[in-house]
Structure 1
Amino acid sequence: MFRGLSAFPLTPVDEDGVDLTAYAALVARLAGAGVDSIGALGSTGGYAYLTREQRARVAEAAVDAASGTPVMVGIGALRTRDVLALAEDAQNAGAAAVLLAPLTYQPLGDDEVFGLYEDVTHHLSVPLCVYDNPATTHVRFSDELHARIAALPHIGSVKIPGVPTGAEDRVAALRALLPASVALGVSGDWTAVRGLNSGCDVWYSVLGGTFPRTALALTRAAQSGHADHANDLSDALEPLWALFRRHGSLRVMAAAASHLGLTGEVNLPRPLRGLDAEQRREVVAVLDALGLDE
């Protein structure tokens, strides 16, 4: 489950609701490309903007459209009782794993973050991936907190942010603290190759949710020990990574998905807004230059 490429697709949303037809096609596209797993309702999937009922329908659509490819479903919410309800929905939908970020309004201390995972893991029958994403949650996991949580039942993976420098030392330090049964995954697409080449088990990828074959080529190069080739593939994508850093990966992939006809033009929930016309032209020019047209 927690190996290789985990592709995180957009959940196309407008003010009328989720476009489940477009969403199912996106998921089927990933499964057809041969990704190792699919991350439904991650940050790219806009989980925090959807109701429980919408999220349950998205989870069901993802599992159905994946046709056997394992699906991990995001269950993050502000209150523990809501996380537990979402976990139940995800498991009932057939999720192979769940993904949990500690959403906050009031700042959470380490004991509160640990208590969240402790409460949730006691109600699970599938593995849980710990979602360490300080850019959106403003929760910063210490290595000691990661170790405490990883010792709980049903913890299957830890998803860390991208590692710009010192990836080998960072990965080694975490490996020394985590049980051997807990996979280490990396996000932050523009630095993900460093994590993969340093021994991370899985890339939790925004790019893979829209361009799975491109992300798979990079992942397979790193998995097979061809670090230089993996670096070259990532370096070639620098024009796209620059757009990710400038506009945010969600907005760039939303623009790409609509340009390719995979979703409608409006595919983000308010108050989020897509890129303006000039920015969209910039995205299209980069996609064309890189040959990302499918």
Structure 2
Amino acid sequence: MFTGLSAFPLTPVSYDRVDVESFLRIMKRLVEAKVDSIGVLGSTGSYAYLSREQRAVVARQAVKNADRIPVMVCIGAISTTQVLHLADDAQHAGANGLLLPPMSYQKLTDDEVYGLYETLTQKVSVPICVYDNPGTTHFTFSDELHARIAALPGIASIKIPGVPADIDQAASRIERLRKKLPDSVTIGISGDAFAGVGLNAGCDCWYSVCGGLFPREAKAITEAAAQGDEVQVTELTGRLAPLWALFSKHGGSIRVMAAAAAELGLTDEECLPLPLRGLSRNDRDEVAQVISKLCLK
């Protein structure tokens, strides 16, 4: 489940409640597109804003409605105790894998982060993906720390942030990391603007925000990568550059994806957990124009 396209859907929220009906409309798109796996409660899935009970609801609904597609559930939280409770909930829901970012308030040391993963691997029975996302966690992994963690039993994949834009530099970066990892641990690219170069550079998986709402377009990219068609990967990801530009303009993907989901009639216009706010009317119109121009539907 840690190869190909892992689609990360939005978690719509309405009046501080998970909007289950809207979430299931998004899930249906992923199932119909036959994505390789589904990653719920990632950063675009608003995990950090939701209570344990809300996250359990999302996990249960995702597994129940995934039609046998493997489901990975993010269990990031500030304390190790909270992480373990969330892991229990996710496993009880039937999750096939767990995604763990090293969240913190006090800046964490390498040994503290290693201890977090070590504790989790001793308590769970499903594989774990390491969530390397310094933009949200404000923790930066070294390759040496990745190697220490990857040697733990149950670690199956590392979700890395963007790679250099130059393909040779990107390939060197992936190769340096891969040499430090067990053969059983895959490397997945995130940061959708880096997807094409990351896949062409040798990443095994795309952990994709785009795939969480536009799975057919994203799956065409990972299928081209699986066939070794670097030209097609570059062409298809380049076509989506206007979408990546919106992510950059609005400080990340979540507000853009919320506006796009509303434009497609999948959610209400206001579907983000407070204090997050949706885009302005003018910015929503720009999202709608990009969706139309790219024929995303």
Taking structure 2 as the reference length, the TM-score comes to: 0.97
| Separation of aligned partners in 1, 2:89 and 2:210 | 27
Aligned-pair CA distance for 1:86? 0.2
* Partner residue in 1 for 2:291: 287
Aligned-pair CA distance for 1:180? 0.3
Runs of 4+ in 1 over 6 A off after TM superposition: none
Aligned-pair CA distance for 1:115? 0.5
SS in 2 for 1:22: helix
| Separation of aligned partners in 2, 1:140 and 1:198 | 21
| Separation of aligned partners in 2, 1:183 and 1:221 | 18
| Residue 239 of structure 1 pairs with residue 242 of structure 2 | yes
| Separation of aligned partners in 2, 1:16 and 1:187 | 28
- Name structure 1 gaps, 5 residues minimum: none
* Partner residue in 1 for 2:97: 97
Aligned-pair CA distance for 1:14? 2.2
- Name structure 2 gaps, 5 residues minimum: none
| Separation of aligned partners in 2, 1:26 and 1:238 | 23
* Partner residue in 2 for 1:37: 37
| Separation of aligned partners in 1, 2:198 and 2:181 | 16
1:111-126 equivalences under 5 Å are 111-126=111-126
* Partner residue in 2 for 1:206: 209
Contact 1:28 1:67 in 2 (8 A): no
1:1-294 equivalences under 5 Å are 1-165=1-165, 166-247=169-250, 248-292=252-296, 294=297
Taking structure 1 as the reference length, the TM-score comes to: 0.98
Contact 1:118 1:149 in 2 (8 A): yes
Q: Which amino acid aligns with 2:178?
A: R
Q: Which amino acid aligns with 1:201?
A: D
Contact 1:70 1:96 in 2 (8 A): yes
| Separation of aligned partners in 1, 2:293 and 2:28 | 26
Aligned-pair CA distance for 1:28? 2.2
Render the CA deviation track for 1:88-134: whole Å, top value 9, x for unaligned: 00000000000000001100000000010011111010000000000
Q: Which amino acid aligns with 1:277?
A: R
SS in 2 for 1:66: coil
Render the CA deviation track for 1:198-240: whole Å, top value 9, x for unaligned: 1111000000000000001111111111101110111111111
Contact 1:184 1:201 in 2 (8 A): yes
Aligned-pair CA distance for 1:264? 1.1
Distance 1:230 1:47, change over 3 A: same
SS in 1 for 2:39: strand
Contact 2:150 2:181 in 1 (8 A): yes
SS in 2 for 1:215: helix
Aligned-pair CA distance for 1:26? 1.2
Q: Which amino acid aligns with 1:126?
A: V
Count of residues in Structure 1 that have an aligned counterpart in Structure 2: 293
| Separation of aligned partners in 2, 1:16 and 1:275 | 18
